[in-house]
Amino acid sequence: MSCSSNAPADSPSGKLRPADLVKSPKDFLDHNVDLEIIEPLSGPATPQNLATAEYGRIRIEIPDAMGTEISLVPSAFRVEDPNRYHRKFDRVMASPIRVKGEFLIDPEMTQSMHRPVYVIRVASWEPMAREAAVALPSLAEVKANPAKWDRKRIVYEGIYETRFEVAALDKDIWLAFEPNAEVAGTPVEASPGRRVNRVRVTGTLYSNPNVRYGHLGGYPFELQASKIEYLGAAALP
């Protein structure tokens, strides 16, 4: 089967994204898709890890589609095969990438997990160039037009607080980290179990106005960091 890979009309990037599949799975299920993935991928990070990994699927970590799982699986994957998730890719995958393949649901896993479990049976994939990060001078710009900034790669400087169940940048951004994120500098601990630091973060911002992010959906935005620079202790405003 085949399906147009055009993104939905409300897709800001004009490209088909993993979140588009989750939003409207019936439009794409059992069809071929052409997908651009900038979200972090959860899987073996080195050839050595890949060689020793027991399972071969690569989960797409989608901040704006929590509760639904989409994984990349190799072309040898068959839904009826009891060993299907032991099939592995022949090389390490890391985002951003462009993937072409068939969008499927795994009925057995969906039933056992009590939530939709989807896979993309990959026919081909290739790395994509990562877009240049732009400076975000103020969080007020995102609040004024969150859809404009959704999935943009940015550099942002603010105050980062970490404590139990909190990882907040300027109180409104849930800060998460890509695999192998670069860390520069050393965080300062304000009190046992609590850190408050000024940081400069490079990463991808998620600001879908229809989504809540982070712990218990407590944040309007999420920043997936590829680099964080600790600039010294700070006080919360």
Burial tier of 3 (Cβ tally within 10 Å: 0-12, 13-18, 19+)? middle
Q: What predicted TM-score, i.e. pTM, was given to this entire model? A: 0.85
pLDDT of residue 68: 85
Confidence label for 6 from pLDDT (cuts 50, 70 and 90) = low
| Dist CA 138 CA 47 (whole Å) | 40
Q: State the DSSP H helix or E strand holding residue 147, giving kind and residue range, or none if neither.
A: helix 146-149
| Dist CA 81 CA 138 (whole Å) | 51
The angle formed by the CA atoms of residues 44, 52 and 56, to the nearest 5 degrees, is 50
The angle formed by the CA atoms of residues 77, 31 and 206, to the nearest 5 degrees, is 90
pLDDT tens across 75-118, in order?
Answer: 999 999 999 999 999 999 999 999 999 999 999 999 999 999 99
Structure tokens at 206: 């998620």
Q: Across residues 164-178, what is the average pLDDT?
A: 95
Taking the mean position of all CA atoms in its chain, how far away is CA 34? Answer: 17
pLDDT of residue 142: 96
Count of residues in the chain: 237
Confidence label for 12 from pLDDT (cuts 50, 70 and 90) = very low
Question: What is the set of domains in the chain, with CATH numbers?
Answer: 18-127 (2.40.50), 134-233 (2.40.50)
List the beta bridge partners of residue 205. Answer: 152, 223
Q: Across residues 42-46, what is the average pLDDT?
A: 89
**Amino acid code (one letter) for 13:** S
Confidence label for 235 from pLDDT (cuts 50, 70 and 90) = confident
On whether the CB atoms of residues 155 and 132 are closer than 8 A, the answer is no
pLDDT tens across 46-84, in order?
Answer: 999 999 999 999 999 999 887 789 999 999 999 999 999
